Amino acid sequence: MIPPDTSPTRTDPAPLHITVRTAVGGGRTLLSAFDAALLEAGVANFNLIVLSSVIPPGTVLTRDTTTVAGTHGDRLYCVESVAYADHPGEVVSAGLGWVFDPVLGGLFVEHTGGSEASVDEQIRLSLADMAHSRGIDYGEVSTAIVTAHCTTTPVCALAIAAYSVAGWTTP
């Protein structure tokens, strides 16, 4: 008797769960400002691997602020938008925008700028171009934009989409 095939298949995978997060962090270096933003976003203790920047069909996509589950040092596949301000008075914004259809999948875009309005405008221009060139109407645009204001030491504005965690036993 042939046992049932219970192995995961490419045609019927568990849905990917992507969480979108924004945060601001500060530190005495650009790097520790970035780390503080990652900590605030719940992803500081992972080895980030940056993707550009497509959403698979069937993905469950939510906004979240809780810490991503996983072991310290696991790899985390993500899409990120990062901007720094390190002169007192300087203001920067970073944002992700996306369109998503459950059947067709979707697209992320990453933009940075001097204001949230500028980032929002760039996001909508990019996504409109990208939908047009594919001949697909993905519907409504969503955004997650955050602003950091430097008063003394460096600050980091971070918008990040956390895709999937991979441990080191499955390299």
Cα separation, 143 vs 73, in Å, equals 29
**109, 123 contact by CB (below 8 A):** yes
Q: Does 169 bind a second copy (CB under 8 A)?
A: yes
Q: Is 117 in the site for a second copy (CB under 8 A)?
A: no
Using CA atoms, how far apart are residues 111 and 66, in angstroms rounded to an integer?
24
Beta bridge partners of 62: 19
Instruction: Tell me the sheet residues that pair with 153.
Output: none
Smallest gap, in angstroms, from Cβ of residue 64 to a second copy? Answer: 18
d(CA 150, CA 79): 24
Among 60, 65, 125, 151, binds a second copy (CB under 8 A): 125
For a second copy, which is the closer residue by CB, 46 or 84?
46
Positions touching a second copy (CB under 8 A) are 8-10, 13-14, 16, 27-29, 31-32, 35-36, 39, 44-49, 51-57, 59, 71-75, 77, 79, 104-105, 109-111, 122, 125-126, 128-130, 133-134, 163-171
